[in-house]
Amino acid sequence: MPSPSLTSLASEIVSCRRCPRLVAWREEVARTKRRAYRDWDYWGRPVPGFGDPGARVMVVGLAPGAHGSNRTGRQFTGDGSGDFLYPALYRAGFASQPRSISRDDGLTLTDMYITAVGRCAPPGNKPTAEELDNCQPFLERELEIVRPEIVVCLGRVAFERVKRICAAHLFGADDRRAHRAFLASMPFAHGALYDLQDAHSPAGHSPAACSPRWLLASYHPSRQNTQTGRLTVEMFDAVWETVRRLLRERE
170-184 per-position pLDDT tens digit: 776 666 777 788 888
Q: What is the pTM of this model?
A: 0.93
Strand spans (E) along 15-143 = 50-51, 57-61, 112-116
Number of H helices, E strands in the chain: 9, 6
d(CA 220, CA 89): 14
d(CA 168, CA 132): 16
Tens of pLDDT along 15-73?
A: 999 999 999 999 999 999 999 999 999 999 999 999 999 999 999 999 999 999 999 99
Q: Terminus-to-terminus CA distance in the chain, angstroms?
A: 24
What integer is the mean pLDDT of 121-139? 97
Rounded to the nearest 10 degrees, what angle do helices 233-250 and 80-92 cross at?
40
In which order are the strands placed within the sheet that holds 50-51?
50-51, 112-116, 57-61, 150-154, 214-218, 193-195
d(CA 19, CA 14): 13
Domains and CATH numbers, the chain: 4-250 (3.40.470.10)
